[in-house]
Structure formats: structure tokens, C-alpha cells
Amino acid sequence: MSEAKVVKKIQAPADEVWAQLSNFAGIQVGGPIESFSYEGEGVGMVRKIGMGGGMVVERLEEHDAQRRRFAYAIINDDCPLPFSNYSATVNISDDGDDTCTVDWTGTFEPRGVPEEQAIQIATGIYAGAIKGAKIALDLE
């Protein structure tokens, strides 16, 4: 198993960052994301993200607002991303003084590309999502 990890300190209250990042139905179409839909609500809900001519299907595995932690897994084998057996966990910790730390960690088996490239792709996705949350909070 390979691991990709992004840890970012953000100058915003943890609850505000949690509200942005933990919204499993909140993905916006644009950039590499060609389409987006979801089914269900809460743990077990499934989202479908169209990108690269294919579909990434993810299921919300855990959503704990009190601990500011959620986890999800890619559940389709024909995913266009170079991962098999993919799961990720996002933890947001309150650092005090209206700052927080986002820790986004994914584990997977690289598929079709070298491990280093798969890790780069995953960390790029995490960093992009964190940057999107910062933009939504008018921090960038």
C-alpha cells in the first residue's frame, strides 16, 4: 500500500473549514471535474465525479462532526484515477486562535503508473480541495 498525505495549517476556525471540506455533496463542476452527482445522505452516500472521460465513484465511509473527521473510498474498479483499493481520511484539528490544521491522508495501490506519480496525483487532489475550501472562505 502507498500513502499520500497533505497537512496544511489554515488561518480560519476549524468549524468553518470542516463545513467546507466535509460537505460530501459540495463538489463543484469546473477544471478537471466534468460532471458531478450524488445519491443518498450521510454515511453510505455515493458521489459520482466525471473526469478524464471516466467516472470516479466514491462512498462516504465515516462522518464525525464532533471529531471533525470523515473518510471515503473509491468503489469503482474502472476509475480513471491511477488507484486501486483507495481510501482516504480527513481530520481537521482546532489549533486555537482561529487556526486549524487539515490532515488529508489516502492509502491505495498504484495502478498503471509509478508509485511516485500516483502519490503526486493524490496529493495534488488533496491540496486542490484544501485550496478550494480556502477560496470559499475568502482566504485566498
- pTM equals 0.93
User: Residue 3's beta-bridge partner residues?
Assistant: 107
Domain residue spans of the chain: 2-136
* Cα 21 to Cα 24: distance, rounded to the nearest angstrom: 8
Give the fold, CATH level 3, of 2-136: Alpha-D-Glucose-1,6-Bisphosphate; Chain A, domain 4 (3.30.530)
- In tens, the pLDDT along 28-84 reads 888 889 999 999 999 999 999 999 889 999 999 999 999 999 999 999 999 999 999
Residue 20 backbone phi and psi in degrees, to 5: -75, -55
Between the two ends of the chain, the Cα-to-Cα distance in Å is 34
Q: Which three cell numbers stand for residue 100?
A: 486549524
- In tens, the pLDDT along 120-134 reads 999 999 999 999 899
Run of H or E residues at 58: strand 54-64
